[in-house]
Every structure is written in structure tokens, then in C-alpha cells.
Structure 1
Amino acid sequence: MKRLDAIINPLRGKNSPDPGKLLLMITSGPDLKFLSNFMNPLKPPVSFMMSQIYIQDTRTPGFCLAGPVTGSPYAVLLMENLMAWGVRDVLYFGWCGSISENIETGDIILPAAAIIDEGTSVGYEKHSGEIVYPSGDINQNIKTILNDRKIDYHEGRIWTTDAIFRETPEKVKYFQEKKALAVEMELSALFTAAEFRGINMGAVLVVSDELASFTWKPGFNDKRFKQSRMAGAEVIKDYVSRFCKTRD
């Protein structure tokens, strides 16, 4: 971990648990609960601010689950602390709103880049409007799993914003022109912080709602949305079994 030049830095305390090298960061509480039951054996969760951290129950932890998270500042705060405890790879699993007419509720997106429209990245030497990218081989490994499982997905840019209630028609149109597929609240900041600290970062998103027509179409109760979240959990479990054990 690098760049500890700030007045306040994330630290590993004497009682900080060993989270392993891989962090599975989960946006929603229901998805976190499902995965924590799905990926046993895990130790009882450790509370950290607004999140729960589940650590693999072995002598040598390989991964941890952490969440829920909302918004760029908190997501990066959580990731920074877990990096200080030993995490070196991060796989993020979250929801997003489609702004492309070709993407519907329940679709899966593999983010190839994120456009910064949030303030956290500014503290990590980036600028609004800049494009940031996943790092390492996590996305490529996820793509391999999606293809092996014959799961359809889209790959492309994501728009990240702090202001969920300021997703105006003008902004949606602007980011459509920038070739963004969807909007969410964490990824550009997470990609930025991961790059800044020199760790690997990838993500998988499930489309929960649609904004492409400039009218909000929520799909949180949509059957296909729920099915895709379960498929995403299977992909994450597969990622852990295939790739987690190969990392130092």
C-alpha cells in the first residue's frame, strides 16, 4: 500500500481481523445476507461503521465479504480500511440504472470504465469528467466465468454520481453521448482509490431500473432482476473457488 502522505491514514489496529487478500464488496444488504449464507463457512460478522464484514473461516483467510455500502465516500472509506488490514484485490457487486435503450432491468454489466461525476476521486488526484478503469485481471476472470456459464452481459462505461436525485434528462443525455451504459454511485471512486493505492479492482453490476427514456422505470421487484442477482452471486462464488486460492 502506498501514498500515506495525508494527516489521517487508514491503519491496522492491534485487534483488526485478518480479512484475507480478496475483498468482495457488496452494495445491498439482501445480497450480502444471501452471499454470506451461500459461501459458508464464514466467521460471525465483524461490525464496521454501517457495514458487516464476514471473513472466511479457515486458518489462513483467503477472502472476506463486506457491505452494505452506499455512495462513493463511504465505499472508499470501507475499502481503504480493509486495504490497511491486508486486502489487495477487490471485487465489487452492485446495482445500477440503465441509461442505454439497449439495456433492460435484469441485464448484467461488466464495467470496463467509469466516468467521474462524484467528489471522492478529486481527493485522489483525479478530476470530474475523467475516465478511470478497473485494474488487474479480475474483470478478465469474471468475463471468463460469465462466458463459461453462458450468461449474457454487456461491457462498457459506467457513469458514477453522488447526486442520485440530480440525474436530470440533460445529464442522462450527456452521459449517453459519452457512451455510458448505466449510472451508479460508487465505482469511479473505487477504481480511482484502487489505482492510487496500487491494488487490483473489478466489478459486476446488475441493472435494477431504467432511465434511458428520461422517465424512471424501477425494476426492484422484477423477477428477472432477482434472478440476475442470484446469477451474479453464483459468478462471485465461482470466482472465489477458481482464483482466490491462486493469490499470495
Structure 2
Amino acid sequence: MSDARLPPLLRDKDRDAPSAFTPESLLREARRQKRAESVAVPEICLLDPDGDIVRALCAGGLARRHTGWVCYHTEMWVFDLEGHEIGVVGCAVGGAFAVLVAEEMFASGCHLLISVTSSGQITAQGAPPYFIVIDRAWRDEGTSYHYLPPSDWSEAPAPLLERLGGAFEDGPRVLTGPTWTTDAPFRETEAAIAAARARGILAVEMEAAALYAFATARMRDVICLAHVTNQMGTIEGDFEKGEANGSEDALSVVARIAARLGRGAPGISTRQAP
């Protein structure tokens, strides 16, 4: 198919070319406007699209605002988790927003990004809530196509998945498997759900395909988790996440990931973009 016949999303893409607009330039100008010093973020950062983790930490007096985080669209909070300092941004929902924040996090000193997003059950794996370490995500969104050529899946960094083997044997229930990333949650039709189930997809969410495409293209360490909390409103009493809106279980899982993948973990190597 000629370029002229492609949809705009797939036209005029030179994915190997540097961007004219960079997170470094945005942060530079934001610091100038806000008269803020350049202060690195923690090496481990967390995306909390639902915002429940941030709200629980702040309500318990366990988080402090990162005064050097100058993103125009979000606030970063810093907290301590089993010996790891972690920076968390809440309510960055959807692939485009998540990757915008991820770019700025890595430009500010992040070395490992963990995303924990609520998701809807596609293939039953028992009653929610439970977690899925996403090993690949079906690319039914737009952001990933700005980072990688068209394909069906975005893949998690294989070395990170390998290091997480056996990390979740005691604690909240954690599976590993594929998800479907959509950017139109209210267009999850019966036909689309059936097709996803036929592919062996376990859950639907809104960020992983974009974040994994960014991770691959920019050589960054990113791990995405789906917190399966619902059956898309098809039953009464849906969307229950557990204690403290699921934040306690989510932080338990994040702590296990940080222990395995944090820079102080034995043998860990950190990938960096050229």
C-alpha cells in the first residue's frame, strides 16, 4: 500500500529520526518558567493511572511532593517502600498521557518505571481482583505506532521478565500473560472482546502497548502490570479493588519488583538509549 493510502497515523513516520521536540527541552523551559532547580527524580518511578495509590499514601502522610518535578500536567510524590525511594505520578490515564510522563521521568533521572493500571477481565482466571505482569500487549491504540513500525504486539523487555521469575510466590495473586491495550474503553464491543479472548488475551487496559513500544524504541526499563478489578461492569458489585482501593496489594507487588529490578539488585543491568 502506498503511503498516500495509509491512515494519517501510519504516514510520514521516520522512527529512526530524532524528535524536534524533546522532553529535555520541555523540562528546561518549565524549570525556567517556574524558577525551579534541576532535581533528579528517584531511580524507580511508578505510574498509578487510577490515582488510588497516590491518594492512599497522601492520606496516610507517607508521601511528600517532589518539588523539582516540573511537568505541566502532573504532580510527583515520593515515598519509601522497603528500602527503595519511589516517585509516583497518579491519574496519567491512557497510552499517550502515560508515555508523555514516562519520557519526562527518564529525562529526569528515572532508571526503572513500573506501571500498575486497573483492567477488565477478558479471559477468566478466577474472581478479581488479581494482578497480571504483562508480557506483551495487543496494539489497539495510537501512541505505539509513533515509536515502532506496525505489528500486532508490544513486548515487555525480556531480561526484566526473566528476573521476575518466582518473585510473587507469596503475597497477592500475580499471573503473567498478554493484555489488549485500547484507547477507547467504551468501544469494547462483544466482537472485539471475543477476538481478544480467541488470542488468549487475559485483560484489557489502556497503557501497556504504548509504554512497551516506548521502552523498546528508547531502550528503557519498563514493566507494566494489570490490576484486574472488574468484568467491565457486567455484574453487580464490580470494580472492587480490595483493601484501601487495592493500594496495599499493589504496593506489595511493586516492592517485589523493586527488589528484583532496582539498581541495587544483584546482577541488574540498566539499559540506556544511545
When normalised by structure 2's length, the TM-score is: 0.75
Q: How many angstroms does 1:222 deviate by? A: 2.6
Q: Corresponding residue for 1:83?
A: 106
SS in structure 2 of the partner of residue 157 of structure 1: strand
1:139 Cα deviation after fit: 3.9
Query: Conserved in 2, the CA contact under 8 Å of 1:141 and 1:239?
Result: no
The CA deviation at 1:241 is 5.3
Corresponding residue SS for 2:146: helix
Instruction: Give ranges in structure 2 of 5+ residues lacking alignment.
Output: 1-14, 32-36
CA distance in 1, matches of 2:243, 2:156: 24
2:231 is aligned to 210
Range that drifts further, 73-82 or 42-51: 42-51
Residues 65 and 76, structure 2, Cα contact 8 Å, conserved in 1: no
Q: 1:109 aligns with which of 117, 128, 132?
A: 132
Cα distance between partner residues in 2 of 1:183 and 1:109: 11
In structure 2, do the counterparts of structure 1 residues 220 and 50 end up closer, same or farther at CA, with 3 Å as the change threshold? farther
> Structure 1 residues 179, 235: closer, same or farther in 2, change over 3 A?
same
Checking the alignment, whether the CA contact within 8 Å between 1:93 and 1:203 is kept in structure 2 is yes
Correspondence 1:5 to 2:18: yes
Q: Which amino acid aligns with 1:167?
A: E
In structure 2, how many angstroms separate the alpha carbons of the residues matched to 1:228 and 1:143?
A: 23
**After alignment, is 116-125 or 137-146 more displaced?**
137-146
Matched length: 239
Say whether 1:173 aligns with 2:194.
yes
- Between the aligned partners of 2:16 and 2:40, the Cα distance in structure 1 is 22
Give per-residue Cα distances to partners, 1:23-54, cap 9 Å, x unaligned: 11111122222245679464556463442212
| 1:200 equivalent in alignment to 2:221 | yes
Deviations 1:86-144 (A, max 9, x none): 222111111100011334321221111111000001111232x5211111644445553
Secondary structure at 1:104 match in 2: coil
- Report the more deviating stretch, 177-186 or 150-159: 150-159
> TM-score, normalised on structure 1?
0.82
2:50 alignment partner, one of 22, 28, 34: 28
Task: Give the corresponding residue for 2:255.
Answer: 237
Q: Does 1:124 align with 2:152?
A: no
Give me the identity figure in percent: 21
Q: Which residue of 2 aligns with 1:96?
A: 119
Q: Distance in 1 between matches of 2:105 and 2:256?
A: 22
**SS of residue matched to 1:110:** strand
Query: Greater relative contact order (Cα 8 A, min sep 6): structure 1 or 2?
Result: 1
Aligned CA RMSD, in angstroms, stands at 3.1
Q: 1:89 to 1:36 in 2, by over 3 A?
A: farther
SS of 2:167's equivalent? helix
Q: Is the 8 A contact 1:115 1:188 kept in 2?
A: yes
Contact 1:209 1:219 survives alignment (8 Å): no
Q: Report if aligned partners of 1:103, 1:181 keep a CA contact under 8 Å in 2.
A: no
Match of 1:134 in 2: 156
Letter in 2 for 1:144: G
Q: 1:52 maps to what in 2? A: 75
Does the aligned pair in 2 maintain the 1:115–1:132 contact within 8 Å?
yes
